[in-house]
Each structure stands twice: as structure tokens, then as C-alpha cells.
């Protein structure tokens, strides 16, 4: 991927897209094509085709998506399946039709079966039932993977698919109704500390285990794979180790400086019991993450403190 190549980052204002954009700029890529959601509605097929016909990008990072945590997925399943299917279908098909050299599609570790053996290998996809709380989103993302693979088989289109684990970092969505676990807990503990409250309620039992990857590490992996990988098989992107929600809550309390009590609301859903990716395929290619969890949490909390007003209403995607 030549430094002068024309690159389109779809979703460049979201958590993932903004990290990919930062990484590309840091590496010296300047010929970047960017459109906000207002400038280009990726659910509008005609608008997407017109954009690709006019701009003719050579490479595409498809980071645009409707994303959210358990509550958002359970509350708005129709929005999650409709918007994600439309976005990825329009962008992948337009990329093929208008001569894109290579496209990178971002899936998610939550598309694996709920009770998949741990750690989850790439070949476990579609071997069992999904987690009900995010089934609509997962089905959409699985369709995107299948579409990328089908276009490769039928048309020879060079598309690759990455399966990131749970992501966090600067620019995350801290809206308590739609956010994922790390930004939600950072905000809860921060607001409790600021207001002098001595109790923070965490959803579920605290026993589920999750793997967390700093979004800047994902961006580094995305650029690495765009340069060095051309296979049909999906590639897991993670750190290869996990932590319980209870341990995570205690670590975030430490980072924020909250010294009160943590209470677990066991009436709320836990979601998948464990979600750890087998990252041996990616690691065997020579890539490794660089940002330890506590350091990444401190960076993310510092960003939140500097952007409290905008962070509370931030949207990923």
C-alpha cells in the first residue's frame, strides 16, 4: 500500500475509524478520503455508488457500523441488523464495482457462538447458537464476512475480514444507554467520585470474563494486515488473555481513584460467560499488541476527563 495511495476510511469519526485514521496519518499516508455521516449516508445505495464512482479510492477500511452494548443491542435489534446490513452491503459492493484494490472489513468477536470453546479459533464461527442479547448485530456482521468471502470466490475481489475482541480507548462512547463495559464503568466510577457517592452498581454477577484490546493496537493490526495479508480466512485480533468483569471493575476503580463500594446487580444479564480469542494466526504473522490494559485505561480515562461533555453523548461507528 503505497504512501500516495487513495484510501477511504469509512466511519472515520467512530472509535475504530478514528484510530485507523490516526495510524495512517502517523505512517505518512496523506491521500485520505473522508466523509462524515451527514456528508455521505452509507445506508443510501445510490449515494454510496456515486461517491465511489467520483472518488475511486484504491483501498477501503470499512470501520463504519452501528455498535453498542447489551442494553442497546437488546433495545434496538431492528436498527442494528438493518443499518449494519445496509452499510456493509453498499460499501463492499461499490468497492468491487468501482475497482478498489483491497478492502478490510471489521467484524467482532461477539459473532462467535455463545458457548464456543475457549479460546475461540476462527473456525468456530457458525458452529453453534449466538448470544441472544446481540444476535441481530452478530447476524449482520456474519453476513458481511460471508459477502467479502463470496466476492473473493466469485469475482476475485481482494477483501479481508478482521475479528477484533472488545475494544476501548480515546474517542469511545460514554453514553450509559449505548456504551460498552469499559466506558460505562469509567463514567460510573468517575461520576460517583465527583459527586461523593460511596457505591457503584455494576450489571451482572461480575463473573464473565472478557478480553480487551486498546483501539490503537487494533488500528496497528489493521494496517499490518492490509499490508501483509491477502487470505480468505478471517483473522482474530486480540491480546490472548482475559479478565473477569469483577477484576475489571476493581482496576477501573483504582484508575479513577474511587474508594467506595462496588455492588453487583445480579438481576441484570451477564451476556456470554467468556469471550477470549485464539490469536495464534495473527501472532504467527509477527504482530503483537503494545498497550497493557492498565496503561490503556489510564489513557482512556484521561481522554474522558478532557472531553466530558462530548464523551457523554459520543456515538461509536
Element housing 300 (H / E): helix 293-306
pLDDT band at 315 (very low <50, low <70, confident <90, very high): very low
Binding residues for NADP(+): 11-17, 106-109, 141, 164-167, 180
Average pLDDT, the chain: 94
User: Phi, psi (5° rounding) for residue 144?
Assistant: -65, -40
Domain boundaries, the chain: 7-311
pLDDT digits (tens, 9 = 90+) for 157-167: 999 999 999 99
**Which class for 104: exposed (0-12), middle (13-18), buried (19 or more C-beta within 10 A)?**
buried
User: Phi, psi (5° rounding) for residue 105?
Assistant: -105, 135
pLDDT digits (tens, 9 = 90+) for 79-133: 999 999 999 999 999 999 999 999 999 999 989 998 899 999 999 999 999 988 8
Q: Which of 210, 172, 184, 220 is nearest to 26 (CA)?
A: 220
What does the pLDDT read at residue 173? 87
What does the pLDDT read at residue 312? 53
Share of the chain above pLDDT 70, in %: 98
What does the pLDDT read at residue 317? 35
Binding residues: 11-17, 106-109, 141, 164-167, 180, 188, 203, 210, 270
Non-local (6+) Cβ contacts of 73 within 8 A are 80, 133, 134, 136, 137
pTM above 0.75, yes or no: yes
**Contact call for residues 134 and 110 (beta carbons, < 8 A):** yes
Q: Concatenate the DSSP letters of all residues of 71-133 into one string.
A: HHHHH-HHHHHHHHHHHHHHHHHHHHHTT-SEEEEE--GGGS-TT--SSBPGGGTTSSPPPGG
Q: 6 in helix, strand or coil?
A: coil
pLDDT digits (tens, 9 = 90+) for 254-305: 999 999 999 999 999 887 788 899 999 999 999 999 999 999 999 999 999 9
Catalytic residue among 59, 137, 151, 168: 137
**Contact call for residues 204 and 149 (beta carbons, < 8 A):** no
Q: Which fold has domain 7-311?
A: Rossmann fold (3.40.50)
Count, residues in the chain: 317
What does the pLDDT read at residue 293? 98
Non-local (6+) Cβ contacts of 56 within 8 A are 6, 98, 99
pLDDT band at 44 (very low <50, low <70, confident <90, very high): very high
Is 155 annotated as catalytic? no
Res. 34: pLDDT tops 80: yes
Amino acid at each position: 500500500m503505497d504512501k500516495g495511495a487513495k484510501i477511504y476510511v469509512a466511519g472515520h469519526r467512530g472509535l475504530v475509524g478514528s484510530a485507523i485514521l490516526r495510524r495512517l496519518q502517523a505512517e505518512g499516508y496523506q491521500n485520505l478520503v473522508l466523509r462524515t455521516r451527514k456528508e455521505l449516508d452509507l445506508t443510501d445505495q445510490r449515494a454510496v455508488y456515486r461517491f465511489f464512482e467520483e472518488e475511486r479510492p484504491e483501498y477501503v477500511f470499512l470501520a463504519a457500523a452501528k455498535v453498542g452494548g447489551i442494553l442497546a443491542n437488546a433495545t434496538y435489534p431492528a436498527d442494528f441488523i438493518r443499518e449494519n446490513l445496509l452499510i456493509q452491503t453498499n460499501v463492499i459492493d461499490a468497492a468491487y464495482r468501482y475497482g478498489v484494490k483491497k478492502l478490510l472489513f471489521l467484524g467482532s468477536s461477539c459473532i462467535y457462538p455463545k458457548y464456543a470453546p475457549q479460546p475461540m479459533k476462527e473456525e468456530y464461527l457458525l458452529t453453534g447458537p449466538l448470544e441472544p442479547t446481540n444476535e441481530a448485530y452478530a447476524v449482520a456482521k456474519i453476513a458481511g464476512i460471508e459477502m467479502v468471502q463470496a466476492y473473493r470466490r466469485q469475482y476475485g475481489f481482494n477483501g479481508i475480514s478482521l475479528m477484533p475482541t472488545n475494544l476501548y480507548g480515546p474517542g469511545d462512547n460514554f453514553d450509559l444507554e449505548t456504551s460498552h463495559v469499559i466506558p460505562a464503568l469509567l463514567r460510573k466510577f468517575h461520576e460517583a467520585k465527583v459527586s461523593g457517592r460511596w457505591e457503584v452498581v455494576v450489571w451482572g454477577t461480575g463473573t464473565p470474563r472478557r478480553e480487551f484490546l486498546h483501539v490503537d493496537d487494533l488500528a496497528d493490526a489493521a494496517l499490518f494486515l492490509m499490508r501483509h495479508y491477502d487470505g480468505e480466512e478471517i483473522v482474530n485480533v486480540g491480546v490472548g488473555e482475559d479478565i473477569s468483569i469483577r477484576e475489571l471493575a476493581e482496576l477501573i476503580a483504582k484508575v479513577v481513584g474511587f474508594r467506595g463500594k462496588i455492588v453487583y446487580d445480579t438481576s441484570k444479564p451477564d451476556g456470554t460467560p467468556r469471550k477470549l480469542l485464539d490469536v495464534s494466526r495473527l501472532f504467527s504473522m509477527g504482530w503483537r499488541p503494545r498497550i497493557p490494559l492498565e496503561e490503556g485505561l489510564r489513557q482512556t480515562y484521561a481522554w474522558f476527563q478532557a472531553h466530558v461533555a462530548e464523551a457523554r453523548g459520543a456515538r461509536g461507528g
